[in-house]
Structure 1
């Protein structure tokens, strides 16, 4: 059985996509307090309570980027979301921690 797959995404590419107005769904799987303290603009918090809403509303053909703390747990979430029928799923390498370090001016709370 072939496992649906995701792709790795680097920080500069995500920055270009967001700066260029690319259509994408951006989800952050960190805990709610961390998300509230700071997140990538345009991202939505995703947890077990909100995943059903995402599955019902997010366009399957649009890029889906998963963000966690350091880019590790987002890989498991990205693989699972790819299995839910999303066409292009990415895990952000370095996660929010690397994003905030490189782009402190592009963090929203």
Structure 2
């Protein structure tokens, strides 16, 4: 039996990691307009146009958290990124929509 290439991450855990300034890489795979309207602080948008540069520069040993709208498409992206050599990959359960609902004061624009 093989283990999943990524893990699920609860919003409360991510909030704690950010409060503790844990070394993380946060990527948001939503469209550019949605990202511009609000995103998790410290995240960077990752799309087809930026993925090559990201793969060239991103640290492979730091935990990588993938954020989408509701926590669904981030799972596929997390699995793909795990296959690119990232050691610890997470998909944020609930996505940005749930993050914004629970932490409206922690949305960067």
Fold-level match, TM-score > 0.5? yes
Distance 1:3 1:82 in 2: 12
Q: Does 1:9 align with 2:21?
A: no
Alpha-carbon shift at residue 4 of structure 1 (Å): 6.2
Structure 1 residue runs of 5 or longer lacking an equivalent are none
Whether the 8 Å contact between 1:27 and 1:66 is mirrored in structure 2 is: yes
- Give the alignment's Cα RMSD to 1 decimal: 1.1
Alpha-carbon shift at residue 5 of structure 1 (Å): 0.4
1:38-73 CA-partner distances (Å, limit 9, x unpaired): 000000000001001110111000000000000000
Matches of residues 17-96 of structure 1 in structure 2 within 5 Å? 17-96=17-96
Whether the 8 Å contact between 1:68 and 1:74 is mirrored in structure 2 is: yes
Runs (4+) of structure 1 moved beyond 3 Å? none
Please give the secondary structure, in 2, of the residue aligned with 1:91.
strand
Distance 2:20 2:77 in 1: 26
TM-score for both structures, normalised by structure 1? 0.96
TM-score for both structures, normalised by structure 2? 0.96
